[in-house]
Amino acid sequence: MTVALTRADASTRGEPFNLARACLETHAADPHTAPRLAFSFVDGERVQRWSYAEAWATVERTARTLLAAGLAPGDRLVILLPHSPAYAFAFFGAVAAGLVPVPASPQLTAAEAAFVAADAEAAALLTTRDRDLDATLPAHCRVLHPDALDAPPASRPPLPTTYAEDAAYLQYTSGTTARPKGVLHAHRVLRGRAPMHGDAWQALRPDDVTLHAGALNWSYTLGVGLMDPWSVGAHAVLVAAGLDPAAWPPLLARERVTVFAAVPTVFRQLLKYGRPEDADLSALRHGLCAGEPLPPAVAAEWRARAGSELYESLGMTEVSTYVSSGPAVPPRPGSPGHAQPGRRVAVLADDPTAPDDPLPPGVAGLLAVHRSDPGLMLGYWRRPDEEAAVLRGEWVVGGDRATIDADGYVWFQGRADD
């Protein structure tokens, strides 16, 4: 694997830093924040809750159990579980153990799971006992089951020291080719998410109750649903799959949610089948949208019926969101906003042989992020040609075409690689 996308000043592994420990252990170790709610999972009438102390204890136990099972720091662990608390604790436990979790969709077929395990050179795959994958997985990948992580290990192997530039997790995306490619992120990605927390998009506070509507195999859910609220000491709520769209408003009211994150489709379905105007949404400050363009009509209807604003964002798996609207960036219908504070965003010519100078306002081209962005991936896993294709001098280009106006607002012009 190449690491061409590592930050230019990261010639070493950087300072000691672990994404999972920064999210949870920091708050669990503080007697003032340890008893505060960190995580709730809603499954119909059943609601499971964990304080910061309890969430970290579960993650730490999972980490030590994985190490006691013979996995070593740096090993890839494919997580192929249903959307559940077990998925969340397995992911963060693996990160705390210095492993490199590979979050995967539970809907993968046996052949697709085998491809991911082989491509990632995974040492193990974590799945439920009803998935019989042994015959399809490569010989180097053994199968683990989540119930084996529930009991404290017989030994207590120490948690390793990880560093900011070490690999933290490997996220597969379909990309622009027929085969998925892995996006490798470093532990520092947590710090790279900090520009999202402010008034340019999320406006997160320690007393917030956030609710994300997505599944945990998606980087949007792992990041906005868990990493971001935990970074600031807030209470993160997730919901089991299959919730009726009409049930969202009563759930938001019952949990006193202050920030609700989803794809625009969820908001559209909620408005079609639910009645937000009948629910007590007085705690809700705003909603967050990502994953697809937000239709202006949906934003206007939400504002009229739910009484709060929807703030959109644009991003990619390689760097997460980097363009957004928020309390300090007034939404403009049809635009996802402008570059978050501290991020350098530009539009480059479509022609890869053209100069790498940013195009002037209003001229369409490929949307690009500067390679100095701390949230940028380490690189594509075993895809040197595809990695080289996204490098344009000091910039990294995705597949989004856009213009940037004189006020800095980005206007999406479609995909260049559909």
Q: Are 101 and 169 in contact (CB under 8 A)?
A: yes
How many angstroms separate the CA atoms of 95 and 79, rounded?
12
DSSP single-letter state for residue 175: T
Sign of CA dihedral 212, 213, 214, 215: positive
Residue 124 makes CB contacts below 8 A (sequence gap 6+) with 69, 71, 75, 77, 78, 141, 142, 143, 144
Closest CA to 50 of 29, 65, 35, 64: 35
Residue 380 main-chain phi, psi, to 5 deg: -85, 135
Q: What is the pLDDT along the chain (418 residues), one digit of tens a residue?
A: 344 443 444 457 999 999 999 999 999 999 999 999 999 999 999 999 999 999 999 999 999 999 999 999 999 999 999 999 999 999 999 999 999 999 999 999 999 999 999 999 999 999 999 998 988 999 999 999 999 898 888 888 999 999 999 999 999 986 444 578 999 999 999 999 999 999 999 999 999 999 999 999 999 999 999 999 999 999 999 999 999 999 999 999 999 999 999 999 999 999 999 999 999 999 999 999 999 999 999 999 999 999 999 999 999 999 999 999 999 999 999 999 999 999 999 999 999 899 999 999 999 999 999 999 999 999 999 999 999 999 999 999 988 999 999 999 999 998 876 5
What is the three-state SS of 229-253? HHHHCCEEEEECCCCCHHHHHHHHH
> d(Cα 381, Cα 387) in Å, to the nearest integer?
9
Give the pair of three-digit tokens for residue 180.
């998925």
The predicted structure's pLDDT at residue 10? 45
Strand ranges (DSSP E) for 241-344?
259-262, 286-289, 309-316, 320-324, 337-339
Which ranges of 290-362 would DSSP assign to H, the alpha helix? Answer: 296-306
CB atoms closer than 10 angstroms to residue 155: 9
How many Å apart are CA 230 and CA 217, to the nearest integer?
18
What is the predicted pLDDT for the residue at 176?
A: 45
Closest residue by Cα to residue 281 from 311, 315, 309, 258: 258
What is the model's pLDDT at position 173? 86
Count of C-beta atoms within a 10 Å radius of residue 128: 14
Q: Are 284 and 262 in contact (CB under 8 A)?
A: no
Q: What does the alpha-carbon distance between residue 304 and residue 107 come to, in Å, rounded to a whole number?
A: 37
pLDDT at residue 174 in the model: 67
As a whole number of angstroms, the distance between CA 244 and CA 65 comes to 36
The pLDDT value given to residue 153: 82
Q: What is the pLDDT of residue 12?
A: 77
